A and B are shown apart, each in its own frame.
Chain A
């Protein structure tokens, strides 16, 4: 018994080192004075300064944030309705179709999704004149679609776990179904809505492939700019950007986890 535990613990710890070593090295070399990313030339924050003066990166970051905000919001609306329909309406004709379409985007290779959406937008423009050209709108629609798939998974699992008797008693007391949904169901699944929104938001911020297909002139997102810079080689500026993103994400995830933990404890007591 003991021998196995030791093996598992050593293998597990090595696994975690594998997960975090690249991230640690990214952060360390973002403070490197030298332009050569891997040779230590003394501590410096100059790359952060340079990053904050790079109009291309800042502009792309702003575009990405706008797209992520709108698409995540759209995704959570579609995802919530889809999850609600799949969990609460047991039998309807298009059920298999809907459940298939909501899970398939999760595993569909991005090159296929990106290409197919672009071809759709081009065909739609030819037929009905909308969307006129590619740009932020087309990226938002594309991101909302796969964001909705992720959001639906998160919300579905919360809806399945939810105690139905609260909804039922509200309905028994005469609450109209829309009222039951907004006053009971939504507050109960609120934590799932928040994590679903955050998931859709980060996925949108992170997407390179789909955005590359469906973007147009003047709507280069942050990952597109990073990709074009990284292809030319390693630059400490990108390390600085990575460090900032990692910091924001870590603080956000830890805060979300703590508040959820607190919410769980409150529910129990």
Chain B
């Protein structure tokens, strides 16, 4: 392992320098501390800097400016007037977020909905991942493909499918009424219940796949040893399987929780007007109110809320990569 790593490290650097066309150019750039290796590194780094990282700086900047009826609809942050640079930082947008209970409760509701959805996805996904991991070889691949398949088909249309199922004259109400279980249709659409169903449904593969990757590595002899020592199947699960699968649970939960917090499509299509999720609030600030500075402030606040789970995920993935 270490020998391989060393070789691979030396190989590209030394050898890219031998390119015929790179020689004269490389010489000049090398004096600036930019070898051909640095150029290869620069391509993705610069692209992501410009189109991923710098945009956040722009958002942060606009969150500090004032809304205006103009194109673009905000006032500039700094101005040159008579040779004097006047800088006007406006924290009003953040004060507005803090003072209006709408934003606070939208954040709280997003975190609650995302948290419980993650829990439900775990409860549904764990047995599925376990079943796939324990299935015989050929069957395992088929089941795995069945989990991935919906992920490839349109997200929007999978959310749309639930409208037909949940609405007042939808599939569920029809079925329940025709067998006489209920007389009045149950209202499910435009409720938080529909939002939960939508989130759990669309993010389920994100929960199952890391769980499966973890459970499939589980050493069967440990389970046998536990049962030989007299542990019942439930005890074995609680003391062996569950603790060993914690990294999978952790990774899957974060992969569901983080995007669910900022979800827009599901609350917009399945939720009601009182389903306040922060992604929907940001969307409305931007598209309906055309208040770019407040929308930016909401985005920055959301980043602060998500920075801890994102860093945990990054750490989980790095430690996972280190093991394999």
What is A's interface to B at a CB cutoff of 8 Å?
1, 3-5, 7-9, 11-12, 15-16, 18-23, 25-26, 29, 36-39, 78-79, 81-82, 84-85, 88-92, 94, 97-98, 100-105, 107-113, 115-117, 119-120, 122-123, 126, 141-142, 145, 148, 152, 160, 164, 167-168, 171, 176-178, 180, 202, 205-206, 208-209, 212-213, 223, 226-227, 230-231, 234, 238-239, 241-242, 245-246, 249-250, 252-254, 257, 261
Contact = CB atoms under 8 A, between A and B. Distances in A.
B65 to A, nearest CB: 11
Given A23-B153, A116-B299, 13 more contacts: A12-B128, A78-B44, A81-B44, A85-B41, A90-B5, A107-B313, A109-B302, A116-B59, A180-B15, A227-B156, A230-B160, A242-B154, A242-B161
A18 B40 CA distance: 46
Closest 6 pairs between A and B when the two form their complex, measured CB to CB: A109-B262, A12-B131, A177-B15, A116-B55, A11-B127, A22-B161
Nearest to B255: A107
5 contacts: A110-B279, A112-B262, A119-B296, A205-B154, A249-B149
B125 A94 contact: no
B310 A107 contact: yes
Interface stretch (B24-32, B83-91, B139-147): B139-147
Interface of B: 4-5, 7-9, 11-13, 15-16, 18-19, 37-38, 40-41, 43-45, 47-56, 58-59, 62, 72, 124-125, 127-128, 130-132, 134, 141, 143, 145-150, 152-158, 160-165, 167, 169-171, 174, 201, 204, 227, 233-234, 237, 254-255, 258-259, 261-265, 268-269, 279, 282-283, 286-287, 292, 295-296, 299, 302-303, 306, 310, 313-314, 317, 321, 324
Pick the most buried of B132, B148, B153: most chain A CB atoms within 10 A of its CB.
B153
B164 A110 contact: no
Contacts, number: 269
Contacts of B268: 231
A243 to B, nearest CB: 9
Question: For chain A, what secondary structure do more than half of its interface residues adopt (helix, strand, loop), or is it mixed?
Answer: helix
B280 to A, nearest CB: 9
A3 B18 CA distance: 65
